[in-house]
Amino acid sequence: MRESTDLTNAQLWGKVTSLALQNSPDIGLRLHQLPEFVRAFAEIKLAAVRTNRDLGLLDNTRANAIEEAAVEVAHGELLDQFPLRVVAVGGGTSTNMNVNEVLASRATQLLPSGSELTIHPNDHVNRSQSSNDAYPTAARLLLARQALDVASALRNLARSFIRQAERHSGVERLGRTGWQDAVMVSVSEIHTAQAAAAERFADQFEVAAQALYAIPLGGTVLGTGVGAPDGFAAAVVQQLADITGLPLRPSANPIDAFAHADGYSALADTAARCASILYKLSHDLRVLSSGPNGGLSEVILPKLQPGSSIMPGKVNPVVPSMVGQASFSIRAAATAVSLAVAGGEPDFNSNSPSVVASLSPALTELAAVIPVFAEKCIDGLEWNRDRLAILASRPFDSLITRAEEDGYDAVASHAI
């Protein structure tokens, strides 16, 4: 049945992809470096070809070949056939055509031996679709899945904090306000609060993903559905939901979905705020572990590696430092997404490539650094109980109690 072909050396893309390569810079993030994005496109094409076959718009022979090619790509094969920059000339059209051309070429190879049929990237693979609806749908699939990955990592981080809360039950430390001594606080409750923050952001990432489950596929150009038959939109979204296992649904208002891309902003904003809290958590640990002789030295972090090339024996808080620096690019990416969302046209936001190029790496970074933070920092930290006892010699708790009886001014005159 199959034509014997060396897929490693064969070029499956066509003229549109070639032109986009010629007209784009040679550097930058490439589609093949985002395999989950390519997967999402392949799943869309798979849903479309099944729907077109069911509606009688494609013959079984062509449809079966396209389906087989789409499954291959969805499973991670042929990644080298997607060389375009994510932000390429032609934006979403070039990317969509890269997918269409590769699937058309590969499907042609998969036609029965001796078949005189051909498979066209536009007429067959792109049937009942537009770059206007295929690209944003692929972006939503990619980003929603990544949001769920970050949520999962955050829930694991929360469990690390809870384990520390249980380990340090009954331990107290001197709290501070304005960097000056204040009252005693519970270490267990501190870790429980940190876990609550991680869980809260996990919830928010899941909510942001749910918003992206409303997809514009079937709206073709500007949400009008032109070029697609009646019933295609609902059927193709259901097919895609079945393929991905995600609770996808058609956009409630197709015109709104094409004109306004604020779902991206909601996710980017969640990522930025999460990065800010991760920075806060990591910076707190850097301060509390400062020392061992010239700082607070309340927390002892795992000693992972030398901290200096010239000072023997020096150990730095390398993981909190990494997490803090990672937060900078994540927050910067959220700003880029905000600009891309605001920069849409009256009827369509064509800036989805910029959103993907900015937000997808940021979510990848979040999903990567959070487990390291949990496993190599939080899980192994210890509270220096001897140091805590020394610092807790004169908290303000008793002074607050005395002030309730003797008055603030009377106690303050003898407090320090």
What type of residue is 121?
A: P
Rounded to whole angstroms, how far apart are CA atoms 360 and 122? 28
- Return the pLDDT at 5: 42
What type of residue is 316?
A: N
* Average pLDDT over every residue of 9-21: 92
- Average pLDDT over the chain reads 95
Does position 247 have pLDDT exceeding 80, yes or no? yes
The secondary structure of residue 38, as a DSSP letter, is H
Residue 182: its H or E element: strand 180-186
- Return the pLDDT at 3: 41
- Return the pLDDT at 404: 84
1 burial via Cβ count (<10 Å: 0-12, 13-18, 19+): exposed
* Average pLDDT over every residue of 213-225: 97
From the list 113, 4, 134, 128, the residue with the least C-alpha distance to 61 is 113
Give, in order, the Cα–Cα distances in Å from 233 to each of 171, 173, 226: 59, 60, 11
Name the band, by pLDDT with cuts 50, 70 and 90, for residue 382.
very high
Does position 4 have pLDDT exceeding 60, yes or no? no
- Return the pLDDT at 261: 96
* Tokens linked to 127: 């049937």
- Return the pLDDT at 294: 95
Give the angle 278-185-286 at the CA atoms, nearest 5°: 35
Of residues 402 and 258, more confidently modeled? 258
Does position 346 have pLDDT exceeding 60, yes or no? yes
247 burial via Cβ count (<10 Å: 0-12, 13-18, 19+): exposed
27 burial via Cβ count (<10 Å: 0-12, 13-18, 19+): exposed
* Tokens linked to 261: 């891309």
Farthest CA pair distance, the chain? 101
Return the CATH class of domain 133-226+252-391.
mainly alpha
* Average pLDDT over every residue of 303-324: 96
CA atoms within 13 A on the CB side of 148: 12
Name the band, by pLDDT with cuts 50, 70 and 90, for residue 409.
confident
- Return the pLDDT at 410: 80
Does position 332 have pLDDT exceeding 50, yes or no? yes
- Return the pLDDT at 403: 81
Rounded to whole angstroms, how far apart are CA atoms 359 and 205? 13
Does position 164 have pLDDT exceeding 70, yes or no? yes
Does position 290 have pLDDT exceeding 90, yes or no? yes
Percentage of the chain surpassing pLDDT 90? 91
Domain locations in the chain as residue ranges: 15-127, 133-226+252-391
pLDDT tens column, 118-135: 999 999 999 999 999 999
Residue 271 bridge partners (DSSP): none
186 burial via Cβ count (<10 Å: 0-12, 13-18, 19+): middle
Does position 6 have pLDDT exceeding 80, yes or no? no
- End-to-end, the C-alpha distance of the chain in Å comes to 90
Does position 400 have pLDDT exceeding 90, yes or no? no
Does position 8 have pLDDT exceeding 70, yes or no? no
As a residue count, the chain comes to: 416
Number of Cβ atoms within 10 Å of the Cβ of 21: 17
Does position 50 have pLDDT exceeding 50, yes or no? yes
* Residues in contact with 378: Cβ distance below 8 Å, sequence separation at least 6, in sequence order: 157, 160, 161, 164
Catalytic pick among 18, 186, 308, 327: 308
Give exposure, 380-398, as e/b (b: 16+ Cβ within 10 Å): ebebbeebbeebbeebbee
Of residues 279 and 409, more confidently modeled? 279
The secondary structure of residue 377, as a DSSP letter, is I
Rounded to whole angstroms, how far apart are CA atoms 240 and 45? 9
Does position 401 have pLDDT exceeding 90, yes or no? no
Does position 193 have pLDDT exceeding 50, yes or no? yes
Q: Which residue has the tokens 């029965």?
A: 112
- Return the pLDDT at 393: 85
* Average pLDDT over every residue of 133-145: 98
Rounded to whole angstroms, how far apart are CA atoms 171 and 184? 10
The secondary structure of residue 308, as a DSSP letter, is -
Active site residue 308: yes
Does position 146 have pLDDT exceeding 60, yes or no? yes
- Return the pLDDT at 416: 59
- Return the pLDDT at 108: 97
- Return the pLDDT at 238: 98
* Packed helices 318-342 and 262-288: angle between N→C axes, nearest 10 degrees: 160
- Return the pLDDT at 414: 77
Specify whether the CB–CB gap between 318 and 306 falls below 8 A.
no
CA atoms within 13 A on the CB side of 241: 15
- Return the pLDDT at 331: 98
Residue 40: its H or E element: helix 35-54
Does position 241 have pLDDT exceeding 70, yes or no? yes
From the list 364, 337, 319, 277, the residue with the least C-alpha distance to 36 is 364
Name the band, by pLDDT with cuts 50, 70 and 90, for residue 223.
very high
Q: Tell me if 15-127 shares its fold with 133-226+252-391.
A: no
Domain 15-127 annotated CATH 3.40.50.300: no
Specify whether the CB–CB gap between 165 and 378 falls below 8 A.
no
Beta strands 249-250 and 214-215 are parallel
